[in-house]
Amino acid sequence: MDKEKNSIMGKIKEFIKGKGMERRSFLKLAGLSSLGMSLGFPLKTKWANASSDCLGYGKSKKYWRTDAQGNRYFVQDNLITRNVDDGHILAKYDGWWNAYPVREFDDDFHDWWIAEKSWYYQKLIDFFEGTSDDMGVPNGGHHHPMLATNARMLCDRGDSQFHLNNTPKGFTIIPKPDKIEEIAKRVQDMYDDPDTNLPVDLFKLRQELYADKTLWDKTKFATLELYSGRPIDAEDPGNAGGYYGINETHTFQNIMVNPMSTLTYMGLWNTDGTQDYFEGSTDDTPTFEFRGFSWLISNYNPNITPYEKAIHDYINLAHCGYHGGSCVIATNLFVISEEFNNSPGYDPYARGKRVVPEPEQGLYDLPEPTPTAKSDTSKKKILTKEEKLELLKRSNFIV
């Protein structure tokens, strides 16, 4: 067998080409997407199975519940989301409720995200069409931002002294509410059609859809919370803790205490002046920070809204279509309240400045620096050797 056939990806390509494969499992084998990037090695210590009872306020409060059919679900009680479409969200932090605005990401971010996403899919298309032997899809970039969460003291899993957490997640943008059903149907029809050339046709469809900026909700991102409270239903195998040795992630536990979160993206490559974003700047690293709220959605919650169910099903279709496995995993919907451009060199619009909402007049204006008096070196006295030795003695310098 040649070198390619001996490689993992070579075996996958040969298997797909020569033997065929169940349509819903081929992408699971290939591992093309890292939506589950947060998966790590199972913890082996005895406290890894601990499940905190302090989430919420008071140890008697339980956040996991079971429906009449034995399916488990959770209730997040620190967010009120019914007015999100009207432009604000209510959130509870440290026992206090407050209203926060909901805002859209800016065009620089959107154009950057589409550019990286399209490049990502093109690499996969070229690989599976045989025009390239290098799949070359790195982790990070548009697909794996860092999600930072923060709980409070004594609300933890028992395996750390800290209640801060930061982890990469496979986030994506989501369709506008009136477009979710249409886009989900097009994706599902592609899986169901025996004449579809998977995965290439699916990747091309995704490229086409993402390029149409009018389809997408600019106020939110979405991902899955992959191992929270498993098993959740009869089809979810394993005992409490599933395959991972833990019942909940730090991310999940933190959000159940405090929904405030930050999400940070960094580009895979620097700008070269040909991009549609950053006004043609060169040698800059696109870096964006979003501050907002994590809205957790549980499939079996009897009070799940039609919108929550549509988002949950859409994100799960993207995941189980690629990877196989459960299609009812908890969903994390990140709602944007502020955006900062943390790119290091994009003047005058970056270097940690808030871009959404646009800053108030003069927010980042600094006072003019006060000129410092320059010493007159033209008449500077030149010390003799004896004067230098005397100065050295007075300075207590140790030779």
User: Domains in the chain, please, with CATH?
Assistant: 1-30 (no CATH), 36-356 (2.30.110.10)
pLDDT(389) > 80: no
Q: Which residues contact 347 (CB under 8 A, 6 or more apart)?
A: none
Rg (C-alpha) for the chain, rounded Å, is 27
- Cα–Cα distance list, 297 to 10, 158, 160, 345, 356 (Å): 39, 25, 26, 38, 26
**Could you give the CA distance from residue 252 to residue 354 in angstroms, rounded to a whole number?**
27
CA gap 12, 26 in Å, rounded: 9
For residues 36 and 324, is the Cβ–Cβ distance under 8 A? no
pTM of the complete model: 0.79
* Residue 177, strand partner residues: none
User: Rounded CA gap, 266 and 272, in Å?
Assistant: 16
pLDDT, residue 9, reads 47
Q: pLDDT category, 324, cuts 50, 70, 90?
A: confident
Q: How far apart are CA 373 and CA 212, in angstroms?
A: 58
Give the whole-angstrom CA distance, residue 150 versus residue 153.
Answer: 10
Please give the share of the chain, as a percent, with pLDDT higher than 70.
Answer: 74
Burial code (b: 16+ CB inside 10 Å, e: under 16) for 90-107 equals bbbeeeeeeebebbebbe
CA dihedral 124, 130, 133, 139 (to 10 degrees): 0
Which residues, in sequence order, are CB contacts of 298 under 8 Å at separation 6+? 73, 74, 75, 304, 330
DSSP 285-316: --EEEEEEEEEEE-TT-TT--HHHHHHHHHHH
- Chain segment 15-32, per-residue pLDDT in tens: 444 444 454 444 444 444
Write phi, then psi, for 205 (nearest 5 degrees): -65, -45
pLDDT of 96 higher than 50: yes
The torsion angles phi and psi of 297, rounded to 5 degrees, stand at -120, 125
113: tokens are 């995200």
pLDDT in tens, 196-226: 999 999 999 999 999 999 999 999 999 999 7
Residue-wise burial string across 328-350, b where 16 or more C-beta atoms lie within 10 A, e elsewhere: bbbbbbbbbbbbbbbbeebeeeb
pLDDT at 52: 46
Helical H segments across 93-139, by residue range: 107-129
At residue 50, the 3 state secondary structure works out as coil
Residue 308 and residue 297 in contact, taking contact as beta carbons nearer than 8 Å? yes
Query: In the prediction, which pLDDT does 222 show?
Result: 98
The SS3 of residue 332 is strand
What is the model's pLDDT at position 241?
47
Q: Report the candidate in 148, 169, 280, 185 with the shortest Cα–Cα distance to residue 226.
A: 169
Distance CA 237, CA 235 (A): 6
